[in-house]
């Protein structure tokens, strides 16, 4: 069953109209799932007339159980690594992705550049959310420096390559239902000692991700998979 996200006016988006008519070649009376701007999803029946698509609601789809709010804080990566992170972090169910330029980031970005890239980033997230049948698309924001991270979390973890004593699995077991959880991964060059000091001042717990050194985008997926597995087990 195909799923699509409506725009802020709760209308089918232009590119989705193209996908419905030209790619999927759907006809009148075909059924799809749509999700509105607040994350409520519906089973609908299509009415297609030439290049015009309307629909009638058949039923509301059950909302997923209220669960933890997951924020991924990702050190800015080079090339297409940021897009890779968006795609797969969305599939792992993160609610928010915050890219942050860190001292050892190879690539640089400012607010103007991020605004230009944000539309593409959101499209990648939306497509990933659609294919994984999520009810909503994660927020994507940018910070020019860690000092601008003025947020409070119930649990905040930072993956640190020099930490061999504490694992994420050890600490994620402490998370309770509906807690706000942050997971921070540094860029390719790692996390500077001054940044680690700042994070610890803000109650981030340093954790290791095993005995191997992982690339930043792989470390992100490793950590999110552990968080997702433990949370799913706790929620069942």
Residue 3 has pLDDT above 70, yes or no: yes
Of 41, 60, 79, which closes a domain?
A: 60
Q: What is the pLDDT of residue 71?
A: 96
The pTM (predicted TM-score) of the whole model is 0.87
pLDDT number for residue 146:
94
Domain membership of residue 168 as a residue range: 69-235
Read off the pLDDT of residues 157-194 as tens digits, 9 standing for 90 and up: 999 887 777 788 888 888 887 889 999 999 988 899 99
Binned at pLDDT 50, 70 and 90, residue 39 comes out as confident
**Cα-atom radius of gyration of the chain, to the nearest Å?**
20
The CATH number of residue 120's host domain is 3.40.1280.10
Tell me, yes or no, whether 55 and 73 share the same domain: no
How many domains does the structure of the chain reveal? Answer: 2
Got the DSSP string for 66-100?
A: P--EEEEEEEPPSTTHHHHHHHHHHHTT-SEEEEE
């Amino acid at each position: 069953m195909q799923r699509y996200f409506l725009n802020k006016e709760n209308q089918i988006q232009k590119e989705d109209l193209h996908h419905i008519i030209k790619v999927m070649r759907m006809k009148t009376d075909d059924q799809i799932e749509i999700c509105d701007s607040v994350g409520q999803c519906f089973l609908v029946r299509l009415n297609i007339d030439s290049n015009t698509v309307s629909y009638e609601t058949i039923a509301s789809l059950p909302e997923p159980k209220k669960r933890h709010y997951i924020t991924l804080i990702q050190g800015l990566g080079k090339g297409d690594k940021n897009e890779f992170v968006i795609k797969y972090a969305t599939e792992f169910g993160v609610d928010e992705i915050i890219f942050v330029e860190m001292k050892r980031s190879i690539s640089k970005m400012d607010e103007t550049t991020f605004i230009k890239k944000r539309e593409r980033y959101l499209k990648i997230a939306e497509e990933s959310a659609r294919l994984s049948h999520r009810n909503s698309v994660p927020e994507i924001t940018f910070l020019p420096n860690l000092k601008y991270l003025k947020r409070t979390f119930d649990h905040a973890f930072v993956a640190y390559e020099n930490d061999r004593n504490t694992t994420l699995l050890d600490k994620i077991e402490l998370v309770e239902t509906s807690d706000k959880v942050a997971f921070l991964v540094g860029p390719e060059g790692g996390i500077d000692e001054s940044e680690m000091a700042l994070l610890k001042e803000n109650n981030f717990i340093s954790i290791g991700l095993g005995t191997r050194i992982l690339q930043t985008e792989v470390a992100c997926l490793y950590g999110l998979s552990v968080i997702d597995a433990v949370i799913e087990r706790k929620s069942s």
